[in-house]
Amino acid sequence: MHELGIAEATLDAVRKEAARHPGARVTRVGMRIGELAGIDASALRFAFEAIVRGTDFEPLQLEIEYCLQKRKCLDCGLDFVVRDYDLQCPACHGLRSDCIGGEELDLAFVEVEEYAAS
């Protein structure tokens, strides 16, 4: 289950960001996952919740943005979203295209809540 490794790498990134903001609390972390990335979002969420349990990061929320497969037609230049595995361009019906989205596996954000000095 490579989702566990991804969850651990995400938590490592959160720890590094938290270290840059002493006294602050990390509240949310966001990831962008493409449909072609081969990641099971529910397994990733389960793994992340399991590794933060019992740590200082336990209330940390993982948000996942799911990204659809997008292609660019090499014949007419149209950018389009692939639906039902149909790679045909909806404008010119060409079959030549490049993948321009859907393979993402990105750490999108780490939200840190800083407290004002008293």
Q: What is the pLDDT along the chain (118 residues), one digit of tens a residue?
A: 589 999 999 999 999 999 998 888 999 999 999 999 999 999 999 999 999 999 989 889 999 999 999 999 999 999 999 999 999 999 999 999 999 999 999 999 999 988 755 5
Tokens of 28: 């949310």
Say what the pLDDT of residue 1 is.
Answer: 57
At residue 50, what is the residue type? A
Q: What is the pLDDT of residue 114?
A: 81
Output the CA torsion sign for 8, 9, 11, 16: positive
Structural domains of the chain ordered from first start: 2-69+104-113 (3.30.2320.50)
In sequence order, what are the residues at sequence separation of 6 or more whose Cβ sits closer than 8 angstroms to the Cβ of residue 73?
79, 80, 89, 91, 92, 94, 96, 97
Q: Report the pLDDT value the prediction gives residue 15, as an integer from 0 to 100.
A: 93
